[in-house]
């Protein structure tokens, strides 16, 4: 597990943190996705391992109805301040936790175990002077596979206070670099990083594709 000083050299300036959201209800999966086994690890442990070689610190955002995950002490565990506001509230909690440590943060969900770390570095390289760099597939955006400036926590707080919950609404209020997903294929040819495991079928297929046994 990398500590704060072991992140990749090309990401030292500016420092980049990581946010993993795991506070959803997992209704379609039937059980909390963060705790599902993925090889010898839980899904959340795998996500932490994937991110830890590239970003630091890492903040895990969980909901109050879930037990705190068992993770190494250097991992920050944050709880949604705006309960019931979905991913945008989770982003607020994660960015709030990362603000003291980093200028930018990569945000993802706990159910993307096929994430390629090179996606993070590629998106960082495309941020430039923008407030966020977000992948786009046609009309669809991927707010939980994006780079955010931690200073956006204040803008997100304003949106939440106004009753806005959809992360893509942030695009109307900040400067964003929208990155076509096809531009990311050189580092992730099949775009496996964008595979969220929302159903048991998707979960079992991801295990098979990773060469792991299904439970």
Within its chain, how far is the Cα of 157 from the centroid?
18
**Tokens at 5, concatenated:** 């000083």
Rg of the chain over all Cα atoms, to the nearest angstrom: 16
Asked which of 1-15, 18-32, 35-49, 154-168 is least confident by mean pLDDT, the reply is: 1-15
* pLDDT, average across residues 157-168: 93
pLDDT tens digits along 189-198: 999 999 988 8
Name the residue ranges covered by the structural domains of the chain.
12-209
Domain 12-209, second-level architecture = Alpha-Beta Complex (3.90)
β-pairing, 145-149 vs 132-137, is antiparallel
pLDDT tens digits along 123-143: 999 999 999 999 999 999 999
**With 90 as the cut, is the pLDDT of residue 61 above it?**
yes
- The answer to whether 41 and 82 are in contact (CB under 8 A) is no
Strand partners, 18: 58, 106
Mean residue pLDDT of the chain comes to: 88
CA distance 197 to 215: 15
143: exposed, middle or buried (Cβ count in 10 Å: 0-12, 13-18, 19+): buried
């Amino acid at each position: 597990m990398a500590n704060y000083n072991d992140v990749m050299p090309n990401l030292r300036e500016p420092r980049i943190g990581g946010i993993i959201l795991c506070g959803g209800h997992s209704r379609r999966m039937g059980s909390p996705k963060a705790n599902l086994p993925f090889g010898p690890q839980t899904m959340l442990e795998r996500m932490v391992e994937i991110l830890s070689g590239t970003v630091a610190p890492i903040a895990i955002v969980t909901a109050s109805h879930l037990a705190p995950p068992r993770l190494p002490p250097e991992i920050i565990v944050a709880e949604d301040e705006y309960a019931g506001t979905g991913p945008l509230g989770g982003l607020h909690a994660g960015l709030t936790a990362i603000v003291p440590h980093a200028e930018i943060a990569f945000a993802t969900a706990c159910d993307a175990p096929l994430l390629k770390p090179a996606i993070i570095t590629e998106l960082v390289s495309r941020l430039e002077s923008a407030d966020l760099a977000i992948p786009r597939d046609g009309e669809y955006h991927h707010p939980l596979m994006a780079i955010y400036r931690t200073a956006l926590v204040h803008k997100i707080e304003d949106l939440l206070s106004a009753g806005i919950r959809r992360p893509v609404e942030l695009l109307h209020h900040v400067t964003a670099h929208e990155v076509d997903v096809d531009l990311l294929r050189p580092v992730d040819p099949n775009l496996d990083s964008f595979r969220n495991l929302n159903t048991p079928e998707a979960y079992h297929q991801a295990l098979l594709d990773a060469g792991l046994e299904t439970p």
